[in-house]
A and B are shown apart, each in its own frame.
Chain A
Amino acid sequence: MTKTEWDILIASTCLKLLLFPAYRSTDFEVHRNWLAITHSLPISKWYYDTTSEWTLDYPPFFAYFEKLLSIPAYWVDPKIVDLNNLNYGAWSVIAYQRTTVILTELVLGAAVLRFVRGAENPTMQRIISASLFLHPGFLIVDHIHFQYNGFMFGILLWSILMARNDRKLASGLLFAVLLNFKHIYLYLAPAYFVYLLRSYCLSPTFTLLPGRFLSLANAVILVFLASLGPFLLMGQLPQLLSRLFPFTRGLNHAYWAPNVWALVTAVDRILLKVASRGQLSGLSVNASGVASTSRGLVGDTVFAVLPTVKPIHTFAITVAFQTIYMGKLWTNTSYKSFVTALTLCGFTSYMFGWHVHEKAILLVLVPLSLLAAEDNAYFRTFTIASIAGVYSLFPLLFTPAETLVKIIYSVLWAFFVLKPIHRQVYQFPRGILAVIVDILERLYLAGFPLLQLFVTLFPLVAGRRSTAQESASDNASQSENGVSASVSAMEFLPLMLTSVYCAVGLVWAFVRLSVIYLVRKD
């Protein structure tokens, strides 16, 4: 490692240490509970335990990983792994769990370091690697909110690196391992399947290479056996799968992830406003949809005006879009084509998936980063997707203390990543259409500071107004309803605006990347 690389590692670790006392979400307790489950219970009970509401719902490799982490945890403080010690928040458990995130993130660090070695353009790759290791997404989701994405994206990047270095068997193997850590990476599986089948198992003349095919198949099967085998033997597979794939959730997550459905939901809300004023008599209003809006943001979303979306619809749309990209990947199996297809696979799932979580945007941003310095078109897409995507993660940290932390870090990151790449690849837009698009994109990006200003100031102003209303009204029973409605609106409006604004940028980035990928011949 060079001195600069050590500098980055040491400095970033110090900064992450400062975040130990920061806000942590329920995911922190989720993972603590998993430490307790895997430490205290025999393996046969892991996927059955319901002591805490945060049951184990990750694949077995992650459970083994937690088992491994639970051993030192027991030495640090036995109360960490006590199953009934719910919501344990002592300093020992915070320091321990946060430390494990920092340490396991070194997998990501190692992977991006290896990307620099043997890169086509080491200067740019160095920036991209640093940008991935220091990504605000990881800072927000892992080091504050609390998850192990750095570790798992490290495995993903390692797998992509193997593909770049033409070691496709290792690439497939690592991806299989990754799937058994967290099944959300299934979103990316089609690209891996097509890519490995076409470029590894088939010869250029479409004849099957049985030796390669069998070795890949065996490797993948072995990985899955190592993961699921014990549960298969115990006959717990159905239970395990029901934990992994709960189909009982709504279309949108609590806060609308900024995808196509966020835009559709917003349109529905606007139409409802119009319809309730009686201006459009032709619209039929769904009563449960009206109730769904008044409930604000929690739970299932039922449209009031537009036709209701079912899981099968989202699934069909996702598959349809992915098929198009896979067709392109089938004809072009270069490394760059693979990474683009991988990104688009994740992007499609994010855009149209059922109950998408906003954190899933990392599935797009991480592989897309690898393409950032390809040329101006890719860079622009990367810029828009990164800024909108990172901003869309901001609502995860709703506590005022972390506001400056997330904003300043993201701004500094954006500056140090975007500025040098921009200089390297920038091209002046050619043609009137390109100029207009360029201006619109710039305007869109310039809107983010304004959005942040609104999100920050709105609760202050609205809060003062609602307390003023409260004190003004004498009738307590009346004001209670009014205040609670205005409070929920107060929380809801900035969130909805954030979601819709980010969705516009992300949908545009999605369209942009699709067009680039499908139109280009390279």
Chain B
Amino acid sequence: MGGYGDVQMIDENGVRADGRGPGDIRPITIETGVVPVADGSCRMTWGTNEAIVAVYGPMEAHPRKIQRQDRAVLDVAYNMAPFSTTDRMRPGFNRRSREVSKVTQDALESVVLLELYPRSKIRVSIEIVSAEAGTRCVGLTAASVALADAGIPMTDLVVSVASGKINDVVVCDLNKEEDNYGEADLPMGIMPNSGELVFLQMDGDLSQDEFKQAWKYNMDAAQEIHKLMVEALNGGDSQ
């Protein structure tokens, strides 16, 4: 994290540059069935982030060497479209997208009941078509909705949200400027029904008290976002 203290992003009353309070998240919309040819899909907008996730499978796992006799394999790919960022993103994998794909896969493997589909493959394609900040959280959250939309059994959905620190104040759900100039970032992947975690990263500088506050903000936001996910899956916004 940069930690440029001279960029003022929150005032003395705790109002952030975009008008939010410290614990407020950006506006979120969730829609299912947005990739008609997929088995399950989800479009999630979160601030000016937009992720489109398609799930295919369970289907035949090939080549055969990737098959597992006792469970399905999950194939998760996170990618940013070339027009998703201010400066054009060159197409293709890079180290960042590989890491995000891996931790997202690790998170989803923790909730999907893979043992129900031995020798098969479930493919999860996460495409970020517009990036602001927190795209890995949007991608993971949307992926769990798309898996549910595909009817893949899971122990719980996953809500992913990040809190961080700007101008020495702990705030929830960093926007682009806050992410660029903030002092810390703590993204978590939460199972909303149990409060357990399947994904955790952090970078920056947080005291023990700040860390506890950021953790709490994420837990509270997860409950709020979970309601929107359930609503979308119950046909609220779905097509």
Partners in one complex: no
